[in-house]
A and B are shown apart, each in its own frame.
Chain A
Amino acid sequence: MADRELVQRVARGEEEALGELYRRHGTRVFRFALTITGRMELAEEVVQETFVALWKGAGSYAGRSQVSTWLLGIARNQGLAVLRGERKGGRAPGAPPELADPAKTVHAEEKRAAVWCAVQGLSAEQREVVFLAFYEALPYREIASLLGVPEGTVKSRMYHAKRKLAEVLS
């Protein structure tokens, strides 16, 4: 069943459809949220808020973008809201994500940890562009539409993110 049809079913109150959308998109939303917030517990909070927002607002989906992109847009708003709350509330830092895979070499793990730290060293605006381009493989036009900024801004954020990442990782 297509994502769009599932959203329509969610709008009619079908929990099974919400569960299917979660199975299809929960991980991408979580990883996006983790990239934005940098913390597991905050990313989990963002995923919850995103799918609850989907449950309440499925009827407002206009079908102008892919459901996955629409969900990432919701997640982004939720992520930024959570980050704003964090700054106000001053919660203690949480545990970083567990990147290690025992089957992989120590060298590869060290490299991934270094890349993750470098990504987290970017601004939130740069991190979201990096995720949407490199993980989601979204064209810059779609990213601009999702973020509500001009295409030139997306390219500029990526340009600076790329330079910063290259500096840190070189």
Chain B
Amino acid sequence: MNRDCELCRELLPWYAVGVVGAAERIHLEEHLESCAECRAEWAQVAELARAVQETLRELPSPGERVWGGITARVQPGPLARVDVGSFLLGVSVWLTVRGRHVLLGGDLRLLGRKYRLFAEEA
């Protein structure tokens, strides 16, 4: 196996999923035309890539409890909060900690939905 074969075989997995650069692709395709051993390797890699892709695409998605766990952790109580109005129409101004930042924010409550008015570093 010469250096051209080595370069070709290194790139075959990415060629199989269509993400090699134009110059590399031209070089690789020219080499495949002239090298029977690399063509055999290409057939094997293409089949392998297809099988792995199919398998990974059949993996499940995360369950609903995962998002529930995330929301539970990203909703810490505010340091301070002032609410004016009601559930149907109202405004809240709050102060909270996000990572290393202290944020001052305001929300508009309209018909049960919350709309962020602003959130700035305090």
User: In the complex the two chains form, what is the Cα distance from A93 to B43 in whole Å?
Assistant: 36
List residues of A whose CB falls within 8 A of some B CB: 12-16, 18-19, 22, 26-27, 30-31, 34-35, 40, 43-44, 47-48, 51-52, 55-57, 59, 97-99, 101, 111-112, 115-116, 119, 130-131, 133-135, 137-140, 155, 158-159, 162, 165-166, 169
List residues of B whose CB falls within 8 A of some A CB: 9-10, 13-14, 16-21, 44-45, 48-49, 51-63, 65-67, 69-71, 73-75, 96, 98-99, 101, 103, 105, 116, 119-120
Q: Report if A159-B62 is in contact (Cβ < 8 Å); known contacts: A12-B119, A139-B14.
A: no
When distances are taken between beta carbons in the complex, the residues of chain A under 8 Å from B98 are 13, 55-56
Q: Please pick, from B9, B45, B52, B103, the residue contacting A119 in the complex, using a CB distance under 8 A.
A: B52
Q: Report if A34-B14 is in contact (Cβ < 8 Å); known contacts: A134-B49, A165-B48, A165-B52.
A: no
Q: Which 7 A-B pairs have the closest CB atoms?
A: A56-B99, A30-B62, A115-B55, A12-B119, A137-B17, A13-B119, A135-B56
Q: Please pick, from A40, A48, A135, A140, the residue contacting B57 in the complex, using a CB distance under 8 A.
A: A135
Task: Judge whether B70 and A52 touch: CB under 8 Å.
Answer: yes
User: In the complex the two chains form, what is the Cα distance from A116 to B60 in whole Å?
Assistant: 13
When distances are taken between beta carbons in the complex, the residues of chain B under 8 Å from A35 are 56, 59
When distances are taken between beta carbons in the complex, the residues of chain B under 8 Å from A98 are 60
When distances are taken between beta carbons in the complex, the residues of chain A under 8 Å from B58 are 99, 101, 112
With both beta carbons as reference points, the residue of chain B lying nearest to A115 in the complex is identified as B55
Shortest Cβ distance from residue A39 to the other chain B in the assembled complex, whole angstroms: 12
When distances are taken between beta carbons in the complex, the residues of chain B under 8 Å from A112 are 54-55, 58
With both beta carbons as reference points, the residue of chain A lying nearest to B63 in the complex is identified as A44
User: In the complex the two chains form, what is the Cα distance from A155 to B69 in whole Å?
Assistant: 37
With both beta carbons as reference points, the residue of chain B lying nearest to A152 in the complex is identified as B10
When distances are taken between beta carbons in the complex, the residues of chain A under 8 Å from B10 are 155, 158-159
User: In the complex the two chains form, what is the Cα distance from A27 to B63 in whole Å?
Assistant: 10
When distances are taken between beta carbons in the complex, the residues of chain A under 8 Å from B96 are 13
Q: Report if A47-B62 is in contact (Cβ < 8 Å); known contacts: A35-B56, A55-B74, A115-B55.
A: yes
With both beta carbons as reference points, the residue of chain B lying nearest to A158 in the complex is identified as B13
When distances are taken between beta carbons in the complex, the residues of chain B under 8 Å from A43 are 62
When distances are taken between beta carbons in the complex, the residues of chain A under 8 Å from B99 are 56-57, 59
Q: List 28 A-B contacts (CB under 8 A).
A: A12-B119, A13-B105, A13-B116, A13-B119, A15-B75, A18-B74, A22-B67, A27-B62, A30-B62, A30-B66, A31-B61, A34-B59, A35-B56, A44-B63, A44-B65, A97-B60, A115-B54, A116-B55, A119-B52, A131-B56, A133-B13, A134-B56, A135-B56, A137-B17, A137-B19, A165-B48, A166-B44, A169-B51
When distances are taken between beta carbons in the complex, the residues of chain A under 8 Å from B120 are 12
